[in-house]
Structure 1
């Protein structure tokens, strides 16, 4: 069952990436990010209020947000800091790079998760999983060569380093999720609500330095319908991902790989919508990544 939940998370992540590209294109990145996380928080707020005043009703819905000790709040804040850093880097990179380059690099996240799962959680991959893992990495390297044809030098472009750093931080957060869900026994909705709350606090500090004081930047911001859509779609994806992680048999390395199937939506549909270059050539490494994911799942 946890694999199917992982595929649902991938579906919502793919749609989330398309909306995110539209939201940040030619726009101020930090307020867009605040808007998406704020939308996620507002989406969950009725469940938090319901958990206080109508606990039995929200428990019946399966969305009861439980009270947690301050120590657990500290653990959630660490996740919020990691992901806020990852998102700031990723949104900046997405603003300056094609989605058909950004998404496949992000798909290398299983590389870091794979290693972390072995070293931290003692998950043991078999031969096919190793083959799938290296096939994914090799396919991402092919994307770098295609990216050069679009004027993107992977060694000199700072946004490439930004998206790589964002990918590493995102993978670290994924490994940390397993600890939060399986060791601290947090419910998905409880984790998502407080995670969104702390990310908003962090972003408000960043914006108070980089955006609020500057009138020209405030005027440059454009509100788009995709901003709240990004937050709601990401919350939906994370909910199914955390539900999958609640299964004691769930392997974080496999879930991370399953989530990469989102790139079908991002590369194929996104390439058509945003009319990006070299779509056919990008299908070759795309097939390689999908084959790597399949081998991991099949094994």
Structure 2
């Protein structure tokens, strides 16, 4: 069951990436990021109040937000700091790089998660899973060759390093999620609500320094409804992902790989919508990534 929930998370993540690309094009990155997280927070806010005033009903529909100790708040705040840094880097990179380059580099995330899962959680991969993960990494290298034809030299482009940093931080957060869900026994909606709450706080501090004091930046910001869409789709994806992690048999290394199937939407549909270059050539390494994901799922008996 947890694999099916992972696939649902991948579906919403793929749609989320398309909306995100539209939201940041020619726009100020930090207020867009704030708008997406704030939108997700506002979606969850009614469930918080319902958990206080109508706890029985909220438990019945499965969206009850539990009370947590101060120490647990601290753990969630750490996740907020990790993901805020990851998103700031990722949004900046997405603003200056084609989605068909950004999405595949982000697909290297499962490799970092894979190593962490072995070292931290002692998850045991099979031979086919090893092949699958290395096939994904090799395919990402192929994307770098395609990127050069678009004037993107991976070794000299700072936005490439930004998206790599964002990928590493995102993978670290994924490993941390397993601890929050399985060790601290947080339910998805509780983790999502407080995570959004603290992330909004962190982003407000960033905006107070980099955006609010500058009138020209405020005037340059363009509100788009896709900003709200990004926030809602991200919360939907996170909900199914965290529900999958609640299963004690769920392997974070496999969930991370399953989420990469979002690339079908990001590369194929995104490439068409945003009219990006070399779409056919990018299908070759995309196929390699998808075969890698398939091998991981096949080895797990999916």
> Shorter-chain TM-score category?
over 0.9
Correspondence for 1:170: 170
Correspondence for 1:121: 121
**CA RMSD of superposed structures (Å):** 0.3
Matches of 2:134 and 2:66 in 1, distance apart? 41
Report deviation, 1:189.
0.1
SS at 1:65 equivalent: coil
Matches of 2:278 and 2:73 in 1, distance apart? 46
Report deviation, 1:294.
0.3
Correspondence for 2:53: 53
Task: Render the CA deviation track for 1:221-275: whole Å, top value 9, x for unaligned.
Answer: 0000100100000000000000000000000000000000000000000000000
Matches of 1:14 and 1:84 in 2, distance apart? 20
Matches of 1:70 and 1:153 in 2, distance apart? 46
Correspondence for 1:63: 63
Correspondence for 1:294: 294
Correspondence for 2:279: 279
Matches of 1:272 and 1:133 in 2, distance apart? 27
2:89 is the alignment partner of 1:78: no
Matches of 1:94 and 1:61 in 2, distance apart? 37
Correspondence for 2:41: 41
Matches of 2:238 and 2:62 in 1, distance apart? 16
Correspondence for 2:258: 258
Matches of 1:186 and 1:107 in 2, distance apart? 27
Correspondence for 1:244: 244
Counterparts of 1:66-145 in structure 2, within 5 Å, are: 66-145=66-145
4+ residue runs over 3 A deviation? none
Correspondence for 1:180: 180
2:118 is the alignment partner of 1:157: no
Report deviation, 1:119.
0.2
Matches of 2:80 and 2:89 in 1, distance apart? 14
Correspondence for 1:202: 202
SS at 1:254 equivalent: helix
Report deviation, 1:128.
0.2
Report deviation, 1:46.
0.3
Report deviation, 1:96.
0.3
Matches of 1:24 and 1:142 in 2, distance apart? 26
SS at 1:7 equivalent: helix
Matches of 2:297 and 2:251 in 1, distance apart? 11
